[in-house]
């Protein structure tokens, strides 16, 4: 079952369960995907966005909500922070399982070997491979320094 189908099924179930908070978040997800579909069709992609792009959208939504929750907590608005974290939980249901540190390190090593990277100049290629294979599974902000360290040590 593809991601769009899972989201649609969850949306229908939330309607049946009369779960307003979950329904609201699922509608936000659908709206974000449809927004990107419209942009893709305008750019000539008749099928809209693919599975990888949907994962990227979901990852971006999670990141935005975590940043908002942190800001709300710092501002003393715990009620709004809790709502953002509840939305994050719903969105994360549709993302693949996050890789642990060991698995991320292994993936970085494999990507470096695949690209044949031997200097820091190849960092973009390595990150491109990682993003194509592990979107939604790893935090690229944390993986970037790991790739940089490995490439600097290699040269």
The domains of the chain, with CATH numbers, are 3-92 (1.10.1510.10), 101-154 (1.10.10.410)
Q: Which two tokens stand for residue 66?
A: 């975590």
C-alpha distance from residue 125 to each of 4, 114, 130, 140 (Å):
29, 10, 9, 14
For residue 99, the 8-state DSSP code is: P
pLDDT in the model for residue 154: 65
**What's the predicted TM-score (pTM) here?**
0.73
pLDDT in the model for residue 80: 94
pLDDT in the model for residue 155: 62
Instruction: Give me the residue label for tokens 């979901």.
Output: 58
Residue segments in the chain with a per-residue pLDDT below the cut of 50: none
Taking the C-alpha atoms of residue 89 and residue 87, their distance in angstroms, rounded to an integer, is 5
Q: How many CA atoms lie within 13 A of 138 on its CB side?
A: 24
Taking the C-alpha atoms of residue 105 and residue 87, their distance in angstroms, rounded to an integer, is 29
Question: Which residues contact residue 48 at a Cβ distance below 8 angstroms, ignoring those fewer than 6 apart?
Answer: 36, 37, 40, 41
pLDDT one-digit tens code per residue, 35-57: 999 988 888 887 878 887 888 89
């Amino acid at each position: 079952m593809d991601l769009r189908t899972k989201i649609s099924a969850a949306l229908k179930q939330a309607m049946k369960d009369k779960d307003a908070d979950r329904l609201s978040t699922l509608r936000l997800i659908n709206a974000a995907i449809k927004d990107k579909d419209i942009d893709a069709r305008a750019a000539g992609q008749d099928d809209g966005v693919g599975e990888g792009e949907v994962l990227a959208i979901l990852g971006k939504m999670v990141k935005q909500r975590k940043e908002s929750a942190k800001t709300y907590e710092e501002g003393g608005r715990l009620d709004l922070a809790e709502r953002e974290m509840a939305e994050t939980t719903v969105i994360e249901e549709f993302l693949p399982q996050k890789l642990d540190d060991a698995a991320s390190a292994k993936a970085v090593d494999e990507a470096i070997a695949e690209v044949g990277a031997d200097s820091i100049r190849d960092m973009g290629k390595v990150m491109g491979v990682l993003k194509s294979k592990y979107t939604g599974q790893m935090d690229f902000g944390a993986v970037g320094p790991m790739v940089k360290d490995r490439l600097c040590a290699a040269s």
